[in-house]
Structure 1
Amino acid sequence: MTDAAWFSEPFRPEGGSVAEGIRKQLGRPDLDLLAILVRESAQNSWDARLADRGGTVDYRIDLQVVGPAQRTNWKEILSKGAPLATHLPIRETLNRSIIRLMSISDRGTSGLGGPTRADKAVTTNLDFVSFVRNIGAPRDRALGGGTYGFGKGIFYRVSKPGTILLHTRCRVGDRLETRLMGCALWQNYIAEDATGERPYTGRHWWGDVSGDVVEPLTGDAADMMAKRLGLEPFAPDETGTTVIMLDPSLDDREPTVAADYLAETIAWHLWPKMLDGAGGAPAMRFSVTCDGIEHPVPDPRETRPLNLFVAAYEGMKGPQRKRLKCHRPKKDLGDLGLVKRVVPPFEATAASRMVGIENLVHHVCLMRPAELVVTYRPGPKPPSEFQSYAGVFRGVEEMDEVYAAAEPPTHDAWNPQSLEYPASTFVNTTFRRINEELNGLLELGGNVRPGAAKIALGAASVRFASLLGGAWGTGGASDYGKPGDTRTPPTDFRTGSGDIKPTGPSVGGDAEDGLGVLVPPERMPGTGGGDAVAGGDRGPGAGDSGTGTSDFGRMGRDAPDARAGAGPVRRPRVEYVSEPYFDERSGTPVLIQEFRLPVPGAQRVRIDLAVAITGAGRETEPPIGAAMPGLVGWEDTTGNLFGTPKYVIEGGDGTIWRAVVRPAPDTMTEIEVLVEAVNR
């Protein structure tokens, strides 16, 4: 049987790479170690895909402990020839009663093939030596996700003893070969050997030490050793790689919590690979387990707010995409898709906060042609917590080298300051063009007729005065769901199980216009055989007939306050007590206009809603197939909701009422509460 043991690399006369330097090549990134691990490992898997065969890459993360049957084998096999604990703490890990592992595996990939020695690496396939031996090797795949091989240092940083095992199956000529090798990075040190004191780089390898260079176990020897360690074997015709990190650092999370975080992190950073491609299958399939239990990876199409980025991605690939260009020098930069929606705020998670997204989305996802998320670049904040927008920018293939060169080792930013002209100009212009498109997306205006309520969101600028954004979007329906909710959003509040239910009695009202009454109104006793209107605008012949008209008085219009056979009366009016704001009813975003009726007496209120058209007035009749804003009902101070289009309220007592309005998709809503007096 092949003799497997540890080998520690001494410094050669020409020098060498120090372990600490390799571990620190990732710098001080904004992302945490687990997020970087997901990004770097998935990028490696994508770059290793079997492109000539097509198909989907399977990517899996497993958190597990070494079983009792293999624990002795792990200690015996991996302790042989191990350095002192002060030089590499692998022995401490193996002596524990519980040995925890994190494995990241891919299938449908090529495995780590090519030569196993760096001095023999004269072929095109350098996967093994690039991962195991060399540092900073440039990518050898066009339009790949990686650039230079610094990102592999994350595997050693996640392992507390800085130790990993590589279990890979690759094609060598016309046959398949299994390879198994251990690698460790810790810190440089000085130790004594037969010749005296000698410096060591802090790099260590475990494998076949029978020759002049430590080599991986291969073929049957690798398969037998993997079986003794309890590693999952490869299927007969399967290729791929499994990287096993000993005693992983989970940032003080319990393993099950870490598994959930990893699953959600996959969704945030790799969602483009989860979407169905031209053949109907996704580019990559992802799974996460902890001690054999599956922790599902969220579906970005069904998960808020990732579904906004999916919609923007689809727009970026569709006919409405915007091609961004640089004019000096002249160059196409990439394609941009944008969507904007009214959605309830979502509850931020650890994974969303890690990418800089709290409960409000106002970001553009940047990616290169490989369609791996680089970062979520924030834009101007929308005027309301119920308004969000998302964008996706993908660089064109001709610009891939420029954007790749702007990335740090963690590939999570584009830094134009690190580039020279004209590359720096291209990246700066990309950001400027994106900002221009976002400014256009948020540029709202409109004409509001005289007398309409002067409404503005508290967080909005002056351009939002008298307007409320409805569900604004560039195609597609509004998203009214809660985080993780996949139900069809409600569009009709009138009947059915989705109605907002009443909780108490009403004062009175009329059921008209087909909306239905959520709380049955109790008609107040009238006089003279019916409801007489007073204080409204006078209709034709009103003064002659001695009766009031049935027209509703509008705010800001002057009309005589008169009633046949009576002296002057105070004209009913509406007093708005707050600016309209977004709220939520039964999980659905609505607009709220609070008001009171300062004039005593019974008065009937109704709502006048319209869509404000940018630069073109208002619209009260929707185009074919389009929606209009609608009244949900009138809400009193105790929360009772009366779903009738007209409602009788007793004025003069200072009670604050709320008009609850359902906004229409892709619109800005104009609200006016109208009132008329009712003669009881």
Structure 2
Amino acid sequence: MSIRWWSQPFAPEGSAAAEGIVKQLGRPALDPLTVLVREAAQNSWDAHLSDGVVEFRVDIRVLGDDVGAWRELLLPEPSSESNVDLDRALHPESIVLVVSDRNTRGLGGPLRASERARGEETSDFVQFLRNVGEPSDHQFGGGTYGFGKGIFYQLSRAGAILVDTHTAADDPTGRRLMGAALGHSWYLGDRRFTGRHWWGLVAADDVPDPVLAVQANEISKVLKLPGFADGRTGTDIVILAADLGPTRPEPNARDRTPQEAATFIASSILWNLWPKMVPDEHGRHMRFVVGAGGPGVPVPAPVEFDELAPFVEALQEIRAGTGTAFSRTVPPKHAGSFAMALSAIDSGSTRLLIGAAKPFEGPSHHVARMRVAELVVDYLPGPLHPDPRLAYGGVFKASEDADALFASAEPPTHDDWVAKGLSGTARGVVQGARTFLQKRLEEWLGLGPQAGGPGGQGLGQLSALLAGVVPARLNGERISKPDHGGEVTGRGGIGIDGGGGSDGGTTLRHGGKPRLVGAPMLQVHQGRPYLVATVKVPAAGVVRVLSADVEVVVEGGGRESEPPLGAAVPQIMQWQSAAGDVVMRGKNVQVPAGEESDWYVYATHVPDAVVRFRVSQGTSDAG
């Protein structure tokens, strides 16, 4: 047996041509690197072990001085008639992109497609490297017919990959190394070939097999692949002569550098795979690392980003069983769950890591749709929040009973649910889910026919002109104190007024009047918005009782005497000391004698309304 490239001839009864396999992926609207991240991580999650964390890594490296070892092993290439030009593709400036997973079961099962899997093993090896269009045998897996693996070949300038996998330490065939390439069909004399090629051990029966065990390990070392010296199971997929894509659309495009590609890949991981980074009730999740010629950098947790935090909150609500059910009168009667959370808009966000692969423009008003595997299918846009200072993120997750129906609506890249072409129950479920989400969003945002009552729209426009807000997210069980160091983003719907009180507006004998300072702020805590005003209380030698009120302001500056039918009314929630050690529920707070101090007063938020705070001095122990 020899290690070399083997080209597949057409069988007399017919075979699949390479051109058709590559085209099965279609023309995705997504960036190819995003498609790669989605497809590769989906495969890794489908192969996760029952315990432990799946480690997923992408490394980008330039061959440089190592190119000689690669050329020695992989040349001579398949016939040039097949358009697999490794000789031209492998040079010192060539890039190899390595996608690795660990704590997965690796590509196990039979080595040849004609063999039957034994016991509980699955035919992962032949499904990935040999077969095309075979149904997935993973219950609730992300993949369906495996067409998405075409992205590995599309990203290679030579259409070629290497696969190094480890399935079990006690199995002599558990360590497997094999190459594959897709060119196009061609003739050698009168004999026609499919354009599919494999690199490996060509046996006496003229069928290629993977390099195994010690020999696979030695080749992996020579090529400086990650390898499996630590004994863990998993898979490394190497894209030869990788095309990293352009930095921007034509005509001013240039190729991404490895560092730019690494940033884009990390951003794609955040936007497309954030649900897998959030541990479930059993602690299962994925950990991601991206590197470009170095040791690699872990991808931060999604909750560290204001843009992703509301989506995480919504998913956790669904996992806890408190989401809104998508119910039907016929089976599947429970087809999914929906939840959403608010966030304040941070117009000053310029973090490249979150922005590089952001799938939509502007603030979030989207629902992340996903199946049971919790891999994001897409971000379905909804109405903008009526308050221009607020964004929201929602999640819709299919139920186990409906998962296969939603899967049937997905294209090969799994990035949409398309009802066209479906029929019967599948069409009803997919179309019904979209209608369900549209109605829930309108209800949640108060966009129904009675939303805001008469004149609500005018107040919303006035709101956008008058108040200043500082966007922030609040964490923890108790509302934390506001941070005045943020950037003021504009004028909106909050006013302040420190007048009034039982002292008639005069200065106390032992201290001045409390006063509202700065602009009240809009803050979000556990998915609910609040208005927060700062009150400065002067030094005094007496105890004082302060009272706060909040009121809706009508156009012209007057106070709303009676709200429209069904309209919300703002209410004071609590007072809190600047240090956070004193929290008083309700409108009143007793301030002890002492030095000047700052206090924060919290009120409920009313969309599309201008509100005004008032603080008054009620009583004092000085009379």
**What TM-score results when the alignment is normalised by the length of structure 2?**
0.76
SS in 2 for 1:60: strand
How far apart in 2 are the matches of 1:429 and 1:353? 33
Query: Paired residue for 2:279, among 276, 280, 285?
Result: 276
Matched, 1:379 2:382: yes
Q: Which residue of 2 aligns with 1:457?
A: 461
Q: 8 Å contact 2:60–2:291 — kept in the other structure?
A: yes
Distance 1:493 1:257, change over 3 A: closer
Q: Which residue of 1 aligns with 2:364?
A: 361
What is the identity, as a one-letter code, of the residue corresponding to 2:45?
W
Cα deviation, residue 7, structure 1:
0.9
Q: Which residue of 1 aligns with 2:241?
A: 247
Q: Which residue of 2 aligns with 1:318?
A: 320
Query: Paired residue for 1:342, among 310, 323, 344?
Result: 344
Q: Which residue of 1 aligns with 2:265?
A: 262
How far apart in 2 are the matches of 1:340 and 1:397? 27
How far apart in 2 are the matches of 1:330 and 1:215? 45
* 1:305-339 per-position Cα deviation (integer Å, ceiling 9, x unaligned): 10110111122223531111122556111111111
The root-mean-square deviation of aligned C-alpha atoms, in Å, is 4.2
Q: Which residue of 1 aligns with 2:200?
A: 207
Matched, 1:395 2:389: no
What is the identity, as a one-letter code, of the residue corresponding to 2:52?
G
Q: Which residue of 1 aligns with 2:335?
A: 333
SS in 2 for 1:374: strand
How far apart in 1 are the matches of 2:343 and 2:297? 30
What is the identity, as a one-letter code, of the residue corresponding to 2:514?
G
Distance 1:162 1:663, change over 3 A: farther
How far apart in 1 are the matches of 2:443 and 2:134? 43
How far apart in 1 are the matches of 2:128 and 2:518? 67
Q: Which has the larger radius of gyration?
A: 1
How far apart in 2 are the matches of 1:283 and 1:66? 32
What is the identity, as a one-letter code, of the residue corresponding to 2:566?
G
Matched, 1:61 2:63: no
How far apart in 1 are the matches of 2:585 and 2:260? 43
Give the paired residue count.
534
Q: Which residue of 2 aligns with 1:285?
A: 287
* 1:342-390 per-position Cα deviation (integer Å, ceiling 9, x unaligned): 3333459697585642221111111111111111111112234422111
Q: 8 Å contact 1:57–1:285 — kept in the other structure?
A: yes
Q: 8 Å contact 1:263–1:298 — kept in the other structure?
A: no
Cα deviation, residue 303, structure 1:
0.6
* 1:431-459 per-position Cα deviation (integer Å, ceiling 9, x unaligned): 11111110111116788999x99632379
Q: 8 Å contact 2:468–2:521 — kept in the other structure?
A: no
* 1:613-651 per-position Cα deviation (integer Å, ceiling 9, x unaligned): 98266345436979999xxxxxxxxxxxxx999xxxxxx
Q: Which residue of 1 aligns with 2:569?
A: 618
How far apart in 1 are the matches of 2:463 and 2:452? 20
Distance 1:517 1:152, change over 3 A: closer
Cα deviation, residue 88, structure 1:
1.1
Q: 8 Å contact 1:168–1:242 — kept in the other structure?
A: yes
Q: 8 Å contact 1:89–1:161 — kept in the other structure?
A: yes
Q: 8 Å contact 1:325–1:333 — kept in the other structure?
A: yes
How far apart in 2 are the matches of 1:419 and 1:449? 43
Q: Which residue of 1 aligns with 2:74?
A: 78
Query: Paired residue for 1:427, among 420, 427, 430?
Result: 430
SS in 2 for 1:457: helix
How far apart in 1 are the matches of 2:5 and 2:457? 79
Q: 8 Å contact 2:9–2:194 — kept in the other structure?
A: yes
Q: Which residue of 2 aligns with 1:524?
A: none
Q: Which residue of 1 aligns with 2:178?
A: 181
Cα deviation, residue 262, structure 1:
0.4
Cα deviation, residue 32, structure 1:
1.2
Q: Residues 272-671 of structure 1 correspond to what in structure 2 (within 5 A)?
A: 272-279=275-282, 281-318=283-320, 320-328=322-330, 331-345=333-347, 346-347=349-350, 356-443=359-446, 455-457=459-461, 479-480=472-473, 491-492=481-482, 514-515=514-515, 609-610=550-551, 615=566, 618-622=569-573, 664=603, 666-668=605-607, 670-671=610-611
How far apart in 1 are the matches of 2:391 and 2:153? 39
Q: 8 Å contact 1:263–1:297 — kept in the other structure?
A: yes
Cα deviation, residue 672, structure 1:
5.2
Q: 8 Å contact 1:323–1:334 — kept in the other structure?
A: yes
Matched, 1:99 2:94: yes
How far apart in 2 are the matches of 1:666 and 1:215? 66
How far apart in 1 are the matches of 2:2 and 2:19? 29
Distance 1:4 1:489, change over 3 A: farther
Q: Which residue of 2 aligns with 1:156?
A: 153
SS in 1 for 2:328: strand
Q: Which residue of 1 aligns with 2:114?
A: 119
How far apart in 2 are the matches of 1:262 and 1:127? 25
Q: Which consecutive unaligned segments of at least 5 residues does structure 1 have? A: 461-465, 472-477, 501-508, 520-579, 593-606, 630-642, 646-660, 675-680
Q: 8 Å contact 1:180–1:218 — kept in the other structure?
A: yes
How far apart in 2 are the matches of 1:174 and 1:202? 32
How far apart in 1 are the matches of 2:173 and 2:71? 29
What is the identity, as a one-letter code, of the residue corresponding to 1:15?
G
How far apart in 1 are the matches of 2:388 and 2:343? 11
Distance 1:513 1:415, change over 3 A: farther
What is the identity, as a one-letter code, of the residue corresponding to 1:357?
F
Distance 1:337 1:513, change over 3 A: farther
What is the identity, as a one-letter code, of the residue corresponding to 1:185?
L
What is the identity, as a one-letter code, of the residue corresponding to 1:380?
P
Q: 8 Å contact 1:309–1:391 — kept in the other structure?
A: yes
Distance 1:3 1:228, change over 3 A: farther
Q: 8 Å contact 1:171–1:177 — kept in the other structure?
A: yes
SS in 2 for 1:71: helix
Q: Which residue of 2 aligns with 1:600?
A: none
Distance 1:74 1:619, change over 3 A: closer
Cα deviation, residue 83, structure 1:
2.3
Q: Which residue of 1 aligns with 2:249?
A: none
How far apart in 2 are the matches of 1:479 and 1:89? 54
Matched, 1:137 2:139: no
* 1:97-149 per-position Cα deviation (integer Å, ceiling 9, x unaligned): 22321000111111111111111245452111101110011011111111111
How far apart in 2 are the matches of 1:327 and 1:105? 45
Matched, 1:197 2:190: yes
What is the identity, as a one-letter code, of the residue corresponding to 1:618?
V
* 1:17-41 per-position Cα deviation (integer Å, ceiling 9, x unaligned): 1111111111111111100000000
Q: 8 Å contact 2:551–2:613 — kept in the other structure?
A: no
Cα deviation, residue 515, structure 1:
4.0
Distance 1:614 1:156, change over 3 A: farther
How far apart in 2 are the matches of 1:447 and 1:91? 68
Distance 1:77 1:339, change over 3 A: same
Q: 8 Å contact 1:166–1:180 — kept in the other structure?
A: yes
How far apart in 1 are the matches of 2:7 and 2:416? 36
How far apart in 2 are the matches of 1:118 and 1:319? 42
Report which stretch shifted further, 342-351 or 216-225. Answer: 342-351
Distance 1:239 1:383, change over 3 A: same
